[in-house]
Amino acid sequence: MLGTKLAGYNLTTCIYNASGPRCTTESELLDLVACKYNGIVLSKSCTLKYREGNVLPRYYETEHLTINSTGLANEGYEFYGDMANKIKSKSDKPYFVSVSGMSINDNLEIINYLQEQPGIDGIELNMSCPNLVGKQQIGYDVYASEELLRRVYEIDLNYVLGLKLPAYFEPVQIEQMSDIFNEFPINYITCINSLGNGLVINPENDQIAIRPKNGLGGIGGSVVKPFALANVYQFRKYLPDMDIVGCGGIETGRDIYEHILVGATAVQIGSTFMKEGVRCFERLTKELEEIMEEKGYNNIDEFRGMVKTFD
């Protein structure tokens, strides 16, 4: 009922984890492998070397909002390459590795290594981490984005490549980035990463909620859903033949339904996964199936991109 085809892979469900929460260590990745209700196992964004990340506290949540400034804490790219064999020995789910090198050359080195590792089915290139001190999100720089993709596609790629994008707040930004993406054989894009440059105050002590970057971090949770939907909706217009993964603000099955309604091929779960763990995938699956049954849909293709407008 929830099956979909993403970048050529037939997935049993359109729901899977976003890179970031609960996908850094071996035990966390194997929890995703064991879960029956997620379609892909996606790793934490990796760098050349192990990163401890930013100082604590770097994560805070309320009922409908999260803020984090993890700073790309991860085990290093070789760890995520080595995990492929362990994952494939337990499941036939596609295994995607998120890549977030600190420079173009870092990304190229990581990608060259990963594509030689058996068991890795795809790469999600992170162009949108908002939580690195002194680093701009490359996805906001049109020329740097084009140069990065040009260099990446000089490699003889033999795997799926997707892009994790920041939120774009002006339609002209989406049009400009779409022009670039149409130049390359990109398999999918993911919209959106957390909203950078947010600030949350803890009402219990009137203190900024996280320590890194003087309290500034990436905002997730239901508050970002309107921006995520808008990005999926607009990119679908300019990239009609490219798969789009919706990510942002998903707390309920209805939220997933709306992402698909505006054109998403699949969805990633971030803040809700962080709060609830893998059990969230079963709950979301049942909620989405209930909505589909009420509306008489047998599969998600029947309502994908069918949002009603006033035109």
Tokens of 124: 């999600």
Would you tell me the crossing angle of helices 142-152 and 171-181 to the nearest 10 degrees? Answer: 20
**What whole-number distance in Å separates Cα of residue 91 and Cα of residue 184?**
31
Is the previous residue joined to 57 through a cis bond, with omega within 30 degrees of 0?
yes
**What whole-number distance in Å separates Cα of residue 246 and Cα of residue 193?**
10
Q: 249, 228 in Cβ contact below 8 A?
A: yes
Residues ≥6 apart with Cβ < 8 Å to 36: 282
* C-alpha distance from residue 193 to each of 62, 75, 101, 150, 295 (Å): 18, 21, 16, 22, 30
Catalytic position from the list 129, 191, 247, 280: 129
Q: Where are the beta strands (DSSP E) in the chain?
A: 4-6, 9-11, 15-17, 41-42, 59-61, 66-68, 95-99, 122-126, 160-165, 188-191, 195-199, 201-202, 207-208, 216-220, 243-247, 266-269
Q: Tell me the backbone φ, ψ of residue 25, rounded to 5 degrees.
A: -100, 170
Q: How many CA atoms lie within 13 A of 117 on its CB side?
A: 25
DSSP 116: T
**What whole-number distance in Å separates Cα of residue 311 and Cα of residue 298?**
27
**What whole-number distance in Å separates Cα of residue 61 and Cα of residue 156?**
42
Residue 253 backbone zone (phi > 0: left; psi -120 to 50: alpha; other: beta): alpha
Q: How many CB atoms lie within 10 A of CB 27?
A: 8
Catalytic annotation on 280?
no
Kindly list the catalytic residues: 129
